[in-house]
Amino acid sequence: MTGSTVFIRLEGPLQSWGDTSKFVIRRSMEAPTKSGVLGLICCAMGLSREAAREVLTDLNTLVMGVRIDRAGMRWWDFHTVGAKVGILNAKGHVKKTASTGEYETLITRREYLADASFLVALQGDDELTKIVHAALESPKWPIFLGRKCCAPSVPLLAPPSDGESWTNPQVHGSLSAALAAVSWRPRYDSESPPIPTTRDGRAELDCLMEWRALSDSDVAPDAAEVWYDVPVCFDPPVHEPRIVTRSTTVVPIARALQQHTPPPPRPRADYTSREYKKQRAARLEADGGVCVFCKSPASTVQHVSYRRAGGAETQDDLRALCRLCHDAVTMIEYGLGMGLDRIDPCQPRWRQDILRTRAEIVRFRALQVRRRRLSPDEVE
């Protein structure tokens, strides 16, 4: 079949495309269903479940193909049903708990596809595909991927990559050729396609294609599958079967969406630098050889800023400290995950933190000394 093709990108943190499962365990199909995609389109048109019945006849004439760009990972979650509303029993009465008499809540398990990405191609009448494209371009209601909690993370209408000449919708061409015309785009430089690439560097991707007989004598392939996902109406939900075949298509690989950006160089202290030693001695002399925090004899200096570290420090980047205060300040900095700018022990706002950490260090060191001097049976 040939005609106009509209491309829909379905990608998000979570997706769920319901199959025939009912009751408390609700599974998801491995790829978007036709019922889910047409329901998404009806949502974009602003149609309720009842009003969607009027357009489903036309929408079902569209032939659907799905390219699995990223299969994702299956994920389970729990949902409650009937809270403050009630669930009907077999007799049609609302269930109530025996202890409190309140409406009973049902706990269900729902399956999702996490981090999946699909390219859906709908092909059919030119005017109909233009209507679908316009609805998805300016949806009247919020769009979701199978369930209302599954929001898309990228625009629904797939745009051409650099160097591609196709448009959305694309006019003429078979459904398989249309899916092969759209490049597979990695998210970052080092990402590989879901299955091995060809020798010429193109990606081989799995596809689920809707099969339709071109004549009365056509017979579906032996490996064809039957999916009950052709919506007749949504309220009540009624679905008819369609035949789906599996195939692979070879597509070019586009440029990654996110290019690798190396982190900016971070200055690091060089304690062997002659200039650093010179500034260290000048800082100790400027502070009178005593710790700026506790006034004990200073034995080292502390960086309050690493922005000029590596030999370009000035006296303003250093503070004279004793070993105990230096260890306390360093512990606080590591605990806070501080970067280039560190603690200035001269600032009053750090006083209580430094005093508390000094006391912890003293208690720990005293305990270690006690443990070395006591027998094993005397150690607490």
354-370 confidence digits (pLDDT tens):
999 999 999 888 777 66
Measure Cα distances from 66 to 51, 81, 182 in Å.
26, 31, 12
The beta-strand segments (E) located in 223-276 are 225-234, 237-251
Cβ atoms of 286 and 315 closer than 8 Å: yes
Average pLDDT, the chain: 88
What mean pLDDT comes out for the span 65-86? 87
| pLDDT tens track for 141-193 | 999 999 989 999 999 997 887 777 777 887 667 889 999 989 998 888 778 88
Distance, CA of 325 to CA of 59 (rounded, Å): 74
- Sorted by sequence, the CB contacts under 8 Å of residue 81 that are 6+ apart come out as 87, 105, 106, 107, 108
Taking alpha carbons only, the member of 272, 295, 300 closest to residue 284 is 300
pTM of the model: 0.68
Per-residue pLDDT, 376: 57
Burial group, residue 264, by CB count within 10 angstroms (0-12, 13-18, 19+): exposed
Walk me through the domains of the chain, giving residue ranges and CATH numbers.
Answer: 4-251 (3.30.70.2660), 274-378 (no CATH)
Taking alpha carbons only, the member of 261, 248, 265 closest to residue 190 is 261
379: pLDDT strictly greater than 60 = no
Measure Cα distances from 7 to 86, 181, 374 in Å.
41, 11, 77
